[in-house]
Amino acid sequence: MSRALPEACLSRVSSMHAVVFDLDGTILQSAAVDDRLYRDAVRCVLGDVRIRPTLVDYDYVTDSGILAQILADNSVAPNPETIRAIKSNFVDALASHISLNGPFPEVPGAHDFLARLHSSTDHAIAIATGGWRESAQLKLDAAGLNRYGIPLATSDDAPDRKDIMRIALEHLGTGFESITYYGDGPWDRIASQQLGWDFVAVGPALGGLDSYAVSGPSERLRRKE
């Protein structure tokens, strides 16, 4: 059974609320493919290097943060040419995947939910992703989410997710009555707690929402966790 966003979490207010979203696994069902292609790109450039088994094994679960630790783990100098080659390989593989398979499917209801928040006079929205900007933009463009001009902060801006989230919020301004982050990983929840932001879990890993279905065109999201 689908777990839709409960109406009890929503209410109308006149002041502004910031809502920031992760991307992979939160807006688009792209996390598994993204992880596989990222690992393939690293090994294509560096050879059979050691990569830690899971994402939670890394201090910074972002494309730039993970790559820095992979290079350190394997005593590879972090020169710009190597980093550019891995990013290019990854983005090219991602573009090929989208060309062959079409855009990544959305988490059910995500597109309509973003559209509703974007048109709301009570909300300002941004995306803070651990992915690189070029790959994130490619996914958003393919999914038709570029039309909203949503501010985007990525791991090109910082390796630490908290800093990426702060940068996304800076794009929106200040003076918000609430700040809510939607994410699918434990690192999203931890970063939100450390920043003092409200957090809404998405997806099965955290027992979160698997649908953004809501009622009404202009609701305020209230604290879920």
Contact 196, 105 (CB under 8 A): no
Q: Which of 145, 106, 128 is nearest to 197 (CA)?
A: 128
pLDDT for res 121: 92
Q: What percent of the chain has pLDDT over 70?
A: 88
CB 70 within 8 A of CB 63: no
**Nearest-angstrom CA–CA distance, 67 and 90:** 12
Mapped onto helix, strand or coil, the DSSP state of residue 180 is strand
CA-to-CA distance for 150 and 124, rounded, in angstroms? 9
In the chain, the amino acid numbered 146 is: N
Q: What is the DSSP string of 30-60?
A: -HHHHHHHHHHHHHHHH-S----SSGGGSSS
Amino acid at 27: I
Q: What is the pTM of this model?
A: 0.88
Question: What are the pLDDT digits (tens) for 146-196?
Answer: 888 999 999 999 999 999 999 999 999 999 999 999 999 999 999 999 999
Q: Give the strand pairing for 10-11 and 220-221.
A: antiparallel
pLDDT digits (tens, 9 = 90+) for 43-100: 999 999 999 999 899 999 999 999 999 999 999 999 999 999 999 999 999 999 999 9
Mean pLDDT of the chain: 90
Lowest mean pLDDT among 12-26, 86-100, 127-141: 12-26
The pLDDT value given to residue 13:
37
**pLDDT recorded at residue 214:** 61
Q: How far is CA 152 from the centre of its chain?
A: 10
- Kindly provide the residue ranges of all beta strands, DSSP E only, lying in 7-118, ordered along the sequence: 10-11, 17-21
Q: What local confidence, expressed as pLDDT, does residue 79 receive?
A: 94
Q: What is the Cα–Cα distance from 223 to 91, expressed in whole angstroms? A: 36
Residue 91 sits at the vertex; the CA angle it makes with 34 and 138, to the nearest 5 degrees, is: 80
The pLDDT assigned to 4 comes to: 52
At 14, the amino acid letter reads S
Whole-number pLDDT of residue 213: 85
Contacts 24+ apart (CB under 8 A), 150-153: 150/114, 150/118, 150/125, 150/126, 151/126, 151/127, 152/126, 152/127, 153/126, 153/127, 153/128, 153/129
β-partners of residue 21 are 127, 182
